[in-house]
Each structure stands twice: as C-alpha cells, then as structure tokens.
Structure 1
C-alpha cells in the first residue's frame, strides 16, 4: 500500500510504507495514529519506532502494526515496544474507524495521574533538559512505585544517562514482578554489557529473545557485545604474547567494525611495526578506512 495521510474528524492517520519518507513525513505531520508494517520498504517497524524516538504507553499517539498474519512473536514484539495494536491485512475504512475509537479511549486513559507524570518526565527528556527529567522520573517512581511502565521508562532514561544504580533498582523491581518482561531483560542486558559483564549480558539478551524473538535492535546489541568480548579476550592474550600479529590485526578489525575509528587509528600508531608483512597489508586497508571515517589524514 502506498504511503498516505488521512484525517478522521480531528484525528490524523498515517500509513508508512517506506522508511526514509515515513520519518520525514511523520515529523512534518505529527499524526495521532500511525500504521506500519513489520517489514516494509527500506526498513522495519522497529527502525521507524527507533527513528521517531520510541513509543511510550502514555503518549498521545496510537501505533498500529499491520501484518498479513498476526503471530505470537509479533504480539510479543508489540508488547515490548509499546505498540498499541496488531491489525491483520487487508483492512477496511471501517477497521480504521474502529481504531480511531480505540485511540480516543487511550487518550482518555492517559489522563491518569501516573501517565501525566510520565509524560512530563519524557517531555523534559526529549527537550534535553536532563537534570529536570531525572528529578521528574524519580518523583514519578516515588509516587507510583508499582506502575511497571513508569519503572521501565525511568530505567531506560537512567541507562541513557549513565545512572546505573537507579536503572538497576527499577529493573530489579520489574523483573521481580514479571521475570518474563522482555524489555526489562533487554535493558538489564544493556546495563550488564556497559559494566563489562558480557557473559551475563548475553544471558539476559537470550532470555529476552525467548520471550520476544523479533526485536532486531537486540540482535545488534548481542553482536556488538560479542565483538567487545572478543576484543577483551584478544587484549588479555596480548599481555602474554604482545607481538602476536594475528591478535593485533584482530583488535584493529574489531575496533573498525564497531566504528571506533579514532581508537583504531591510535591503536595502530604503536603496533603497526609489529605486524608481519601479510597482516600489515591487510591492516593498512582497515587503517585507511578508519582514518577516512574519523576525518583524519
């Protein structure tokens, strides 16, 4: 289906079929209801959700995942990403009208106090008033300690700001109530990964995948975590064999793949001479790429 924008009364609905155009059009038109296929031209629903700043259960927005065949995996993905509804294709104008009605019901629901407090915190975060957002999230947790959406949104914010202890406490509470909460397991995996506890992080990611296996963002984090683990092991091995050409080249490749270009350039400044001739030629290819991407000559 082609991308289009339609209005039902005062409610704007938007169907996204192409990622690059969808993001731009979304920002320009700010629709209340967004229809998006799980996998569509140039991207996926997860990429669109990420590009528009994520979804919140208390947003004045209704996000619909359109699909040929609703599955348990898609339902789990929707729950994890705060997607409001899964709609089977093909659907009619009458189906859209019913969704508009459910959006109106949601708009009434988000007038609850805990939703209002969460909206204020998220607004401050989106406007990069991070100190104010921190206080608002802490206040929301204090007033609504048993609201899982508040704890999850706060944990994600704390994690983005490097507030590991605060994030950890929120996630511990959520997981104690629901050990199968995919988003909480994913966020805890991120927390462990950033603490350098890669094996534990992988365990959390795998646990989240058992519940919600279609989240492509998590697979990216898993691959990145495995690369970081490999780099850590290579660095440890080089303490014993500091001139091992293969290990030096491997670390350069990992840094480049992880797009840590400046670190890759700095690393090779003192180690290029230790490489054997064959590895040096290969390293020069990666080094040239790293310099170009880092804006260095």
Structure 2
C-alpha cells in the first residue's frame, strides 16, 4: 500500500453512507490497524459499505486517546498503516484525532488524510450566511453561566461562527445566543445533514429560539452570522487622514483613500479635515500629529 507506515485520518459519512469516497473503502479493507471512536458504529458502517476490515480494530475515543496515541504511533513506526476514523465526519474536528497527530508528528511519522464529509462545511455552505471567513467553536459549555461567558467572547467576532449542540441543550443555547449576541443576529440551525429528514431552519436568533422551544431532534449544527462592522468614528477617520498627510500625502488624496476604504462620506471627511486644519493653522503638533503639513489655504488643499 502507498500509505504504509503512516497515520491516516479519514472522514466518514455524516449521514448518507453513499458519501463515502472509494479510498476510504479501500483503506477500511486494507489498513493494518483501524482506530475507531466507537467500534460498534464502525461495524455498522462497514456493513452498510459492504467492506470487511482485514486489520486489527481498536477503540480510540476521548477517554483513552492520550494513552492509545502512543500505541498507534508505534504501529506506524513499525511500518503499519493506521487508519483513524470518528463516528461521523473528520477526526480531530470535535472528535479524537489531535493527540495521535501530535504524537506522530513528534515521532517523525507520516500523517495524511482521506478528505470526507464535514458537518461544519456542509452547514456553513447551506446556511446562507457569509462563508469567506468563519470560525469553528465546537460544543459550547454545558453549564449556563459558562456557556454565556463563551458566547460573550463572540459578541464582536466578525466571522461567521459554526458550532455543534445536542438536542437536549439546543433550546437553551439558542435562547442564550439571542440574549447575548442579540435577538436580530442572523443564524441557521442545520439538523440531520445528508439524512432523510435533513432540515435547515434560517432566521434571527429570536425566531430560532422560539422555534426550538418545543424541542429539536437529530444531529445539530448551528451557524451564526458574525458581528456587524462597527463604523469608525469621525475622530478616528480624521486621525488617519492627518497621519497620511503628515507622511506627505495631499489632503485631497488622503481623504479620498480613507473614505473609499471605510465607506465614509468623502465630502464630510474632507470638510472635517479642513475644519481641523483651520482650527490650528501652522501648528505642527496639530491634534497630536507632529509634523502635520496641511495645505496653507483651502484653495491649495483642494
């Protein structure tokens, strides 16, 4: 095999078994060791896929991953292919995987992956929310106070956030999110992705919290819009204009550049810069900007 003597992280279907790539089927059949988050679920998966593992199957879950990692790395060092799979999705993404990768890297063992389905990316793509920048928060804390503190850290986060939640806590979590992040923040609740009863519910956090109050079943991924940009104050924008002028840029060009970048009114910003200049003409320490070289007249500045 071309992956002998390696640790291979393999993504498994998050619902529909037909999403399994051919390479996953081959490795399940040929790997020397298959480390599974839940060996019972692995047996059910290979039965659906029509594959029979020829190698040794061992458990690799959150309670034994630290101890098991060294054993898996030793097997790879001995030239064996070690396939690591989680119950669903990509190992290491809120599932065991990080520790064996870290141990393999430290031991100089090759680590590679079989790309596969990911609830994070599927939910992000289906959410209808911005996908150009996002962060993954995993599972929020179970205790209400700790959960609200974790959410408070996202109040000003500009990126779209993706997180997992259980059916037992989703109603409380959405209620907390509406309270902490704001009831009008856009979000999507994605459940049972790629399965028969797949559903994507989009709306504001207040609307989703009300919908979930009666209970939501299934595997759940929540996607929340990032914080809206906070417009810079006129004073901040004016300071940037004056900094650019102090560096030798003409007032007109400096104002145009700052206005274009921030969306501020070019005319209002220009007038504010003229007023600030006129308030202290000839003062090189004008508004805390040493060496400010503003135009000597409105006509020149224009």
TM-score (norm 1): 0.32
Where relative contact order (Cα < 8 A, 6+ residues apart) is larger, the structure is: 2
More strand by share: 2
More helix by share: 1
TM-score (norm 2): 0.32
